[in-house]
Structure 1
Amino acid sequence: MGQDALSEVLRAVRLTGAVFFRVEAREPWAAEAPPAAACAPHVMPGAQHVIEYHLIHRGACWGGLVGAAPVRLEAGDIIAFPQGDAHVLSSAPGLRQVPDLALYREAAAAAPLSLRLGAAGEPTACVICGFLGCDARPFNPLLEALPRMLHHRAGRDGPSWMGQLASATMAEAARRRIGGEAILARLSELLFAELVRRHVEDLPAEGRNWFAALRDPHVGRALNLLHGRAAEPWTLDALARDVGLSRSTLAERFARLVGCPPMGYLGRWRLQLGAGLLAGGGLPVAQVALRVGYESEEAFSRAFRRMTGVPPAAWRRASREGRSGPLPEARQGP
């Protein structure tokens, strides 16, 4: 089986899931979430970026970005906000509610937290709300390509893996069992991965972003090779030969779809891999450099500082102290 760039990215950006709210509501009701950056320190401290998602367990409601037209959500639907935007769920379009950050602090201490909203009586809707943390820096091509909102409609294509995952998540969240928190975290990650895969499959053929590049037979193969064998001493000539295109054709097609040249992309991806190794283990910087394809510690350190704004040792120290969020934003070049 060949290398899979999407799987490599999902691994390298350290996707971590959790479920924190189980909301039961009776009309009229509204629940408004602030930008994810505001609640991230409470629900997923140390995460560079937080994605919020909602799974409709029972009933129906409306959901969408603050200031945008909402979409109708039915039982089994999933809606996610990859860029961390403020958003609203409600029993009817146009209803709003001031976000309450105290709820996020409480949820982090007693996950999953059960909430009741709206009027008294039998709930007309039940929603499971969760979070996914991931690395956004130095380079996360997945985040760069995802829209502000993803919506999967239940039963759109009959019984599916997505439906089975959603059912398992809803069943696990409905009762407290030993190991439930860990199981829900893994289910959340699988749900998001499948949601992204569905999004890629549904994109129009003429798109121009990282997902469109994955679907291109030649550029997709180039991405899979670069992700699967990032430490190899790639040249544009070698990559073009392996994907069956001329050097100039590959360079033009890759840049048009991905937004940067192949070797520039490889440089950014190597630094993302290096950042993960620095954060996740005790390897000396020199060994990290060699593992991601740099010939020397000095060359790696220069590139890393140029892209992230901090030297490798400072990145490692901040990651160990749970301070990955406030680090300087990554720059565009490797």
Structure 2
Amino acid sequence: MSANHDPASGSLAAASGFDVLSDVLRCVRLTGSMLFLVDARSPWMSWAPKADAFRRVALPDSQHLVSYHVVTQGGCWAGLRDAESERFETGDVLVVPHGDAYFLADSPDTPAAYGPEEAVDFFRSMAAGEMPSVVSEGGEGAERAQFICGFLGCDRRPLNPVLDALPPMIHLRSAVRPDDRMGHLISFALCELREPSSGGRGVRLRLAELMFVEVVRRYLETVSGASAGWLAGLHDPLVARTLALLHASPARHWTLEALAAQAGSSRSVVAERFAHFVGQAPMQYLTQWRMQLASRLLAEPGARKVAAVAEAVGYESEAAFSRAFKKCVGMAPSAWRMRGAG
């Protein structure tokens, strides 16, 4: 549908209850890559290099790799490499959103037992399904820890507002609550990992996605009082309404005046609050989000013609769309389609 054909009267209704977080996670192509369980005995240290070092062997079609770890038994120390470590207890979650090198260990002083090449070889074998779903680590000491390792691929550009809003490392404390979603997911994952069965690999990859989404939702709760950031903006009524309007009807011919009217505020207030939380003007955000939608459409098998993609994201002119896409992404839509999204 052309942007000019999107009825203004239906925009607020379309945005009412619109799940912006789900829309973003869908459009950035969140894809499970690996899920396995580590059973570690002291002394032990498990570490991963920067994600770019093993992303192409783990999930070659993905732009970016996110890792997270859920401590299911015992405790450990963890953190980014060359940074101060933190103590993790049963139920805590470590998230490394931006691909930094990191570690988990029984003690901050425990040395690594393998190097970068061995680490990449491990991820290559695990991604290929050549490794067991439960991995033993460390020595024969009395102290024991277990943790689930999850890895996911996603798009990073043109725009991934969830990823951009996350810090280099997240430590969610006591993420497992009695009778809650995360607890059920962890129990399901442990069952699948310890007792592999037919179709288990596919189930584990979906579980990797579900557990990460639940982690993001938990983190969203912790930023409810934050002063700025895209995720914090979801807690601000005006910014949340504005985001919902843009995501519900990205192809509409939006203006700041129309957006403010639909959001129920003035132009200046919408512009100020949106920029404060999101870090850019509403129309600039809309352009980048349209390019994210377009990049996904262009990368799909049997993708539509560029003109059809342009119309789908709100451009009546293929030339105008191509100029905007190249300015945002750095290459023409046809070139993006040929090289894929990787």
TM-score greater than 0.5 by the shorter chain: yes
1:42 paired residue number: 57
1:295 paired residue number: 316
How far apart in 2 are the matches of 1:303 and 1:128?
Answer: 42
Give yes or no for contact 1:23–1:115 (8 Å, CA) kept in 2.
Answer: yes
Q: Secondary structure at the match of 1:215?
A: coil
Match of 2:32 among 1, 14, 17: 17
Cα 1:193–1:290 change in 2 (3 A) is same
How far apart in 1 are the matches of 2:245 and 2:214?
Answer: 22
Q: Secondary structure at the match of 2:68?
A: strand
**Which aligned pairs between 1:95-134 and structure 2 lie closer than 5 A?**
95-97=110-112, 98-99=115-116, 100-109=119-128, 110-120=130-140, 124-134=144-154
Match of 2:220 among 200, 212, 217: 200
Across the aligned residues of Structure 1 and Structure 2, the Cα RMSD in angstroms comes to 1.8
How far apart in 2 are the matches of 1:307 and 1:53?
Answer: 30
Deviations 1:283-304 (A, max 9, x none): 1111111111111111111111
Give yes or no for contact 1:213–1:219 (8 Å, CA) kept in 2.
Answer: yes
1:189 paired residue number: 209
How far apart in 1 are the matches of 2:232 and 2:73?
Answer: 35
How far apart in 2 are the matches of 1:135 and 1:156?
Answer: 28
1:56 paired residue number: 71
Structure 1 unaligned blocks of 5 or more: 326-334
Q: Does 2:259 correspond to 1:239? A: yes
How far apart in 1 are the matches of 2:125 and 2:225?
Answer: 45
Structure 2 unaligned blocks of 5 or more: 1-15
Deviations 1:55-109 (A, max 9, x none): 2233322211112222222333321101111101101123241342221122122
How far apart in 2 are the matches of 1:273 and 1:28?
Answer: 47
Give yes or no for contact 1:50–1:84 (8 Å, CA) kept in 2.
Answer: yes
Cα 1:156–1:14 change in 2 (3 A) is closer
**Which aligned pairs between 1:1-334 and structure 2 lie closer than 5 A?**
2-97=17-112, 98-99=115-116, 100-109=119-128, 110-120=130-140, 124-154=144-174, 157-203=177-223, 205-281=225-301, 282-319=303-340, 324-325=341-342
Cα 1:198–1:150 change in 2 (3 A) is same
How far apart in 1 are the matches of 2:136 and 2:142?
Answer: 10
2:12 paired residue number: none
How far did 1:155 drift? Answer: 5.9
How far apart in 1 are the matches of 2:71 and 2:21?
Answer: 27
How far apart in 1 are the matches of 2:231 and 2:20?
Answer: 10
How far apart in 1 are the matches of 2:228 and 2:292?
Answer: 22
How far did 1:312 drift? Answer: 0.8
How far apart in 2 are the matches of 1:155 and 1:198?
Answer: 7
| Aligned residue pairs, count | 321
Cα 1:289–1:155 change in 2 (3 A) is closer
How far apart in 2 are the matches of 1:114 and 1:174?
Answer: 7
| % identical aligned pairs | 46
